Amino acid sequence: MTELGRLLTAMVTPFNERGEVDYEQAQKLARALIESGSDGVVVVGTTGESPTLIREEEVRLFAEVKSAIGDKGTIVAGTGSNSTAEAIATTKEAERIGVDACLLVVPYYNRPSQEGIYRHFRTVAESTSLPCILYNVPARTVVSISAETTIKLSEIDNIVGTKEASGNLDQISRIIDGTGDSFLVYSGNDNDTLPILSLGGYGVISVSSHLVGRQMQEMITNVVEGRMDRAAQIHRSLLPLFSAMSVVSNPVPIKYALNRVGFRVGDTRLPLTPPDESSAKIIEKALSSLQIDLPLD
């Protein structure tokens, strides 16, 4: 089984006051996340605002985060695209830098068939020796990868897992049942983590773990070790935060929350904007009852 860790944080991309990537702050955040319970980080995913980053920024972020955490945690590079050629090029750059794996989103906007999705992922996987994690997030890509296509792709040696943000527990159950024990099924939604783990899933690629990494790690450990009552108790205690992190489009809430607790990450890039007043109050209410794990010094 590929050892990437059960708790990976989908890391935000910090920007400075001019809207430029703040690479120094990205390094600081990556180190803080590893210190506060995360096994690794996903760089330049949805939470990292990949749609608004240019290739040079993405590749430099991979390198800067690799430099910051070294072998202390795993680095999964978000190299997916709706262009197969672009996904291949970015994945090769990430491999050259020395990341541990890549995250490949289902092609968006161009609405491929299941056969097109299969060929896309197979072609990217064949271009690299990196372990590849599929990323199914139909709320953003419109097209969803089917359980059958995921199972077929799991037979490719270096396609080692999937991040399932579909919210479809029936589909996720079929994937877990139809793939080998070494295929890693990650929850892509924080509030689905406990149900997916209970079905036999492996872990979570999380947003909330920016703030509550140790608590998320404790929940996962309790499931793995059979203490479901304690895991469920932690899950329930974190539900207000999970809900607040989706009150408006990710990563708007988590960036607002990080800035509020004192870890400067800047605003989101357009077309995303800061939360409105009512959404901000929901986020602040969730924060008020939390024990924050992230070191702020």
Q: Which residues are catalytic?
A: 135, 163
Residues 203/209/213/218 CA torsion (nearest 10 deg): -40
What single-letter DSSP state applies at residue 64? H
Give the separation between CA 27 and CA 90, rounded to whole angstroms. Answer: 20
d(CA 225, CA 221): 6
Cα(103)–Cα(90) distance, rounded to whole angstroms? 11
**In the chain, what is the greatest distance between 2 CA atoms, to the nearest angstrom?**
49
* Cβ–Cβ < 8 Å for 10, 204: no
Residues 31 and 68 sit within 8 Å (Cβ to Cβ): yes
The CA distance from 27 to 59, in Å, is: 14
Angle of helix 23-35 relative to helix 55-69, nearest 10 degrees?
A: 40
| CB neighbourhood size of 1 (10 A) | 11
